[in-house]
């Protein structure tokens, strides 16, 4: 089973760089335990990093599950704490806190199922091309695998993953996409739609990268040049300019970029783009103001 799964993974040790040191984020769930196992079996020198958010009674004990798995596969182990209080935007806040204590470039155990969920979530919030491209495959070596495969791998090896009850809580939108929307889409399509959505995300990622490269030749603050450029390139140039200038994790959504394009065409003089920022136009130059 392991060789078949490894053939679809993208660990750095798949080529001449065998033995490359990698950091793996390992929560103790089936996906992250599979990441630890497969990275080790790929010949990487693995350090497993576990982060406790202190959100559940007994969560501190989950580190022991990871420590034992790391010891079994000859990996180093590091435990960190990143406390989060329950409340709004918990998933996003926990992710931000987690990455603050994890090493740069850490690998994660996202699968094709996570990719499909992310694309659907991004679509619902009105994301542009970046959102439709889904999860960046960099640092996600399991992105071609399925969740049922990571669970099967753990079962075959006698590993007992941590079961996070929050993954069943319908208060989290991702859980409703996972347990309600995706099964409904599969039923309507009479087929498994996860590979279809994941494949579409890959295609969108390629288109995004091409537009990114072409958009570098355009000055996003020159309203005249922007108006004369093909609109997809102008929109990409705007996304990257705004994201860079305001140091945002994500570019503005598609609706905000449409409003900025109206500023480019001089249909309006300025527009809000969220986060307390506004794009303005003066003397055919675009600018950003708080």
pLDDT greater than 90 at residue 146:
yes
**pLDDT value of residue 18:** 55
93-132 pLDDT, tens digit per residue, is 877 888 889 999 999 999 999 999 999 999 998 888 889 9
Q: Is 247 left (phi over 0), alpha (psi -120 to 50) or beta?
A: left
Q: What per-residue confidence (pLDDT) applies to 13?
A: 57
Residue 92: its H or E element: helix 90-101
Give tens-digit pLDDT for 69-91: 999 999 999 999 877 777 777 67
Residue for token pair 């309507």: 188
Once rounded to an integer, what is the mean pLDDT over residues 183-210? 97
Structural domains present in the chain: 2-111+146-167 (3.40.50.620), 113-133+169-215 (no CATH), 221-289 (no CATH)
Q: Which residues pair with 25 in a beta bridge?
A: 49
Residue 201 pLDDT greater than 80, yes or no: yes
pLDDT per residue over 39-70, tens digit each?
Answer: 999 999 999 999 988 766 777 788 999 999 99
Q: Is the pLDDT of residue 197 over 70?
A: yes
**Is a pLDDT exceeding 60 seen at residue 152?**
yes
Number of H helices, E strands in the chain: 13, 6
The pLDDT confidence band at residue 163, using thresholds 50, 70 and 90, is confident
Report which of 171, 161, 165, 141 is spatially closest to residue 27, judged by C-alpha positions.
161
| CA–CA separation, 131 and 205 (whole Å) | 9
């Amino acid at each position: 089973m392991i060789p078949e799964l490894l053939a679809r993974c993208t660990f750095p040790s798949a080529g001449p760089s065998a033995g490359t040191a990698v950091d793996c984020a390992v929560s103790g769930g089936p996906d992250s335990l599979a990441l630890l196992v497969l990275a080790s079996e790929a010949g990487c020198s693995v350090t497993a990093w576990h982060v406790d958010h202190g959100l559940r009674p007994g969560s501190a004990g989950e580190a022991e599950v990871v420590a034992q798995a790391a010891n079994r596969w000859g990996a180093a182990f590091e435990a960190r704490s990143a406390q989060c209080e329950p409340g709004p935007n918990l998933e996003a806040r926990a992710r931000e806190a987690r990455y603050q204590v994890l090493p740069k470039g850490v690998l994660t155990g996202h699968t094709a199922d996570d990719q499909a969920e992310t694309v659907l979530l991004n679509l619902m919030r009105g994301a542009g091309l970046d959102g439709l491209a889904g999860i960046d495959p960099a640092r996600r070596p399991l992105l071609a695998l399925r969740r049922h495969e990571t669970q099967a791998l753990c079962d075959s090896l006698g590993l007992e993953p941590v079961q996070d009850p929050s993954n069943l809580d319908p208060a989290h939108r991702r859980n409703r996409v996972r347990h309600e929307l995706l099964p409904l889409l599969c039923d309507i399509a009479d087929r498994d739609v996860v590979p279809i959505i994941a494949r579409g995300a890959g295609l969108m990622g390629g288109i995004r990268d091409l537009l990114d490269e072409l958009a570098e030749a355009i000055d996003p603050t020159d309203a005249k040049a922007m108006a004369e450029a093909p609109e997809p390139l102008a929109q990409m140039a705007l996304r990257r300019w705004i994201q860079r200038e305001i140091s945002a994790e994500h570019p503005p959504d598609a609706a905000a970029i449409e409003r900025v394009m109206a500023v480019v065409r001089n249909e309006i003089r300025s527009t809000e783009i969220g986060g307390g920022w506004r794009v303005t136009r003066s003397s055919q130059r675009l600018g950003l103001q708080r």
